[in-house]
Structure 1
Amino acid sequence: MLESISVPSPKPPTRQHRYLSPSIFWSIRQGFPQRLSWLLVALSLALPLTLWTIVSSLQLVPPTFLPTPLAVLSAGLTMFAENSLGEDVLASCGRVLAGFVLAAIIGVPVGLAIGTFYSMDSLFSPIVGTVRYMPITGFVPLIIIWVGLGEPSKILIITLGVVLYNIIMVADAVKFIPNEMINVAYTMGANRWDVLWKVIVPATFPSVLDTLRVNISGAWNFVVIAELLAAQNGLGFKIIQAQRFLQTDKVLFCIVLIGTIGLTIDYGLKWVSRRLTPWADQIRH
């Protein structure tokens, strides 16, 4: 009797792993040369400026709508020399600072409470989640009725525009703290007060600083809206005033100036954050 001959089944083809070649430019969180980083920063600024110069110099767009960079710079220097633009800068910076500090004083503790306690989450989250979808401009008539046309109304608009985002982002930062950290603190004998001040607050402090740094841009966005309310100075006031007379060069200079001030503040807050929380540099990068 013939024995059955077993035919071995073919082996599945081995999967060939495709490795990407090392790359400095496309590396994923593997560090980046400082010189190349500065080169890309300069390139990102030079490209739009060059395109703006070419389009405006060749008058592909009428100068009334797009003046040249030199014309914008000249208009800005004239505003500083003859139209007291420096006072407008100080006025806008004061309003932004007051509104932003008030939003931080309110938003950070409420955000910590929402992220820490389920009771506070149930109490505040519905109203915060609802109001943040309402446009701030819709509250302007009410703010005028309640507060009037003075400085408090302008500061209140900036505060309302920023505070809700502070609350939400800080609350999310607290919720990302691993439960294991809290359980370990309880195991070692900590009470609720200790967990709050020795675990939650230090763990979220870098994220709170980053939240404030990001949201201060919102304060500068709302300062233009705030200075619509019978303002007699400020960068937003200058933009609106120049727009009425089609002075596009002055409008563009004020916009660029706001962007420059905001970028300076952003890098300053980054520097402060790295000095206060050096242990968080690895998380940030």
Structure 2
Amino acid sequence: MGDRLKRIGLVAAPWLAIVAAWYGVRESGLVNSALVPAPHAVLAKSVDLFARQGLAWDIFVSTRRVFIGVAVGIALAVPVGFLIGWFRSAKAFADPLVNFFRALPPIALIPLVIVYFGVDEPAKLVILIYASFFAGVIVMYEGVSQINPLFIRVARTLGASQSEVFRKVIIPLTVPHILTALRVALGVAWATLVASELVAAQRGLGSMIQNASTYFLLDVIYVGIICIGLVALLMDLALRRLSTRFLAWQDRVGA
């Protein structure tokens, strides 16, 4: 029981410290208190937005966009990243292209996305897919290129065929990098969400933040930012659970 309480305290401590610092900054006089809404005011505003202005729907819309963008981006990134990481000729060919395009911020591509995809839902998804794809490719090919070839040589020495080597050695060794790519792409996609919802979005957390900034509704902006952080955190925790389940064999090997 004591260990459990200690763990809960460790988890709660940084959040309580942030809230205390928030109140401290507001009451210190260093910043105009009108520019820093109090935490309890932001909480009250979030309840009002949930009850009367469809905040739950905004969260759902944004989460759905991020989920689709990451799913499609990683589905494309995994085979591309594997090829680049596994074959030296593929890396020599694609590495400069990947590093060129991943350096381009998604927000800079919005005018071109509007020209080619319009302002409807596909345009928003394209921006998220773009961001997720290049984040995932980098993680995948860096991870795959570091796979120890000793495992493959041992498998072949034991008589494994090429298909067995791929199924029983390469794929299990690639799974950790796929899950890492998912987590990285998820963070990048949430960071890109506001930019993607600049494209004439009617609903979504990014759209809510943009609309609130137009009317200087700071409490609404805070609510939107906190919601993005919380939903991203919950999705990352779910991926960690998934990683623990799928990578249990690593603990056994390490033991």
* Match among 232, 236, 239 for residue 209 of structure 2: 239
2:47 is the counterpart of 1:77? yes
Q: CA deviation at 1:37?
A: 4.9
2:160 is the counterpart of 1:190? yes
Distance 1:217 1:82 in 2: 29
2:139 is the counterpart of 1:169? yes
Identical residues among aligned pairs (%): 33
**Contact 1:57–1:68, Cα closer than 8 Å, also in 2:** no
Distance 2:33 2:219 in 1: 9
Distance 1:282 1:132 in 2: 36
Contiguous gaps of at least 5 residues in structure 1: 1-32
- The one-letter code matched in structure 2 to 1:274 is T
**Contact 2:151–2:169, Cα closer than 8 Å, also in 1:** yes
* Compared CA separation, residues 122 and 189, structure 1 to 2 (3 A): farther
Deviation larger for 188-197 or 159-168: 188-197
Normalized against structure 1, the TM-score is what?
0.82
* Compared CA separation, residues 178 and 103, structure 1 to 2 (3 A): same
Q: What is the DSSP-based 3-state SS (H/G/I as helix, E as strand, rest coil) of the residue aligned with 2:186?
A: helix
2:65 is the counterpart of 1:91? no
Aligned residue runs from structure 1 range 265-280, under 5 A: 265-280=235-250
Aligned residue runs from structure 1 range 8-19, under 5 A: none
Distance 1:282 1:223 in 2: 38
Q: What is the DSSP-based 3-state SS (H/G/I as helix, E as strand, rest coil) of the residue aligned with 1:103?
A: helix
Instruction: Tell me the equivalent position of 1:28.
Output: none
* Compared CA separation, residues 173 and 34, structure 1 to 2 (3 A): farther
**Contact 1:274–1:281, Cα closer than 8 Å, also in 2:** no
Instruction: Tell me the equivalent position of 2:188.
Output: 218
The one-character-per-residue Cα deviations of 1:123-180 (angstroms, maximum 9, x if unpaired) are 3222112111122222111111111111001000011112111011111111221121
- The one-letter code matched in structure 2 to 1:65 is L
Contiguous gaps of at least 5 residues in structure 2: none
**Contact 1:228–1:237, Cα closer than 8 Å, also in 2:** yes
Distance 1:120 1:239 in 2: 42
- The one-letter code matched in structure 1 to 2:152 is I
Instruction: Tell me the equivalent position of 2:100.
Output: 130
Q: What is the DSSP-based 3-state SS (H/G/I as helix, E as strand, rest coil) of the residue aligned with 2:35?
A: coil
Aligned residue runs from structure 1 range 15-30, under 5 A: none
